Structure 1
């Protein structure tokens, strides 16, 4: 719960996790093609948090916002998730 409070700026970060947070910030670039399926009505992890991440992905970064979907796309829109994954994997297989 504390991580959610910190994310929403309702609590200060726990200093016991400072080293882990530093490592996350310094994470290396991801070099494989990456697909992010994000619900455009997600109120836990806001959709804007997935935007602008392209510099961290040298193999490509594709963000798909799923309309009318919240925090659990696989539960809320399984057909959309399957279609997105299928398309992405078929395209990736052609590279």
Structure 2
């Protein structure tokens, strides 16, 4: 149960306010769109993308040890964040 809560809380917090959630908010706010249709379509898309991530992670586990994979993921996040900060200051 601890592993479940750890994954749930981490993913839940990571998803708050991200582009996917903002796109879902925009779809749900449009007139004429069923709120339930938006909910089920978004839930299905997130489920499928999560399944793909789990399969990719399981495949990567066979070829890369956990520590380098975490370092690669962390470096990727740092790179993306750095590029976003640079882009912000270029726009100003």
Shared fold by TM > 0.5? no
Instruction: Tell me which of the two structures has the higher relative contact order, counting C-alpha pairs closer than 8 angstroms and 6 or more residues apart.
Output: 1
Larger radius of gyration: 2
Name whichever structure is richer in helix by fraction.
2
The TM-score with structure 2 as length reference comes to 0.32
More strand, by proportion: 1
